[in-house]
Amino acid sequence: MNSADYRSTLHDYAMPAEWQPHLATWISWPHNQDSWPGKFGPVEPVMVQAVAALAASEPVYINVLDAAHEKHVAALLEGHASAGRVKFHRFPTNDAWCRDHGALFVTGRAAGAEPLLALNFGFNAWGGKYPFELDNAIPPQMAATLGVPCVTVDMVLEGGSIDVNGAGTLLTTEQCLLHPNRNPNMTQADIEQALQDHLGVQQILWLGDGIVGDDTDGHVDDLTRFVSADTVVTVIEQDPTDDNYTVLGENRERLAKMQLHDGRPLQVIELPMPKAVEYKGDRLPASYANFYIGNSVVLMPSFNDPNDAVNAGILSNAFPDRKIIPIDCTDLVLGLGTFHCLTQQVPAPPG
């Protein structure tokens, strides 16, 4: 399918919510030690825990650099995740953040539409902050592996900058999508139209700024996430002296006023933030909102904090049909992201 064909049938496709059934979860195995300076050692064991939890109910596809890297990762996973549930792809990347450099998938919702289609948005490493040429080449490789059409979209967009409810609404932030380092020639109206056209949504809800330490310019997946068609969880800071207090309070006020496109109020559940996580004096973007919803589990970042248990309970109530898996991300977050940033779901085609 070429871009012209796709644009003529945009209304036939939509991006499913993350909790809808997955064909697989895709990750790019961490390898760039510059992202975890002096602390790369703990990263791979955390990833082993994550893959083992996911592989219990869905295949996990893993991008690796080459044959030697594949052998290394396979040895780490041995005895933790069934080899039959893990598939390696020798697709080299600059870094591990598959949420942002991977393909975004939409599914057909009308007769004659492709069941599954990959969208290849542009990726520029969050405004040119890091090398990205290998990462930007990943979406077509993912599509080819799956045997699905791939459509290139002339717009920079990272998966972590958006969240959808699978029922016509998308949530994002002004700090990220309106930042001039992404799409300087697009107005807010242009961006909204592109999101509606390509992701099959009817409504865009805008939050303001992101949390301190987030070098992605305010990704929404560190702030607020849909947990059902009409409900979000959102992080809040209870300490008025904390640097995140004001910005999270302002976003909470916005959420309180939001309605869905059918006029229903948006339901909001609060997730209290952990105490500040720092490394060599720098604040890291530790957030409970960066969880990942698998077919039978929710991978929840934990931070050796009293609020770990509080948030596990909140997410358990939000996802009663899934097991909440808290995994210590105190070291992992040095890379400036956790489980949602490191994963990309491949939705199961309808039917």
**Which active-site residues does the annotation give?**
341
Q: Which residues of 51-72 are buried (b: 16+ CB within 10 A; e: fewer)?
A: bbbbbebbbbbbbbbeeebbee
User: Concatenated DSSP letters for 236-247?
Assistant: E---TTSTTHHH
- Distance (Å) of CA 24 to CA 50, 103, 129, 335: 14, 13, 30, 24
Select from 188, 239, 181, 194 the least CA-distant residue to 15: 194
Cα–Cα distance for residue pair 55/43, rounded to 1 Å: 18
DSSP state of 58: S
* Helices and strands per DSSP (H, E), number in the chain: 10, 19
Question: Pseudo-torsion of CA 16, 292, 155, 142, nearest 10°?
Answer: -80
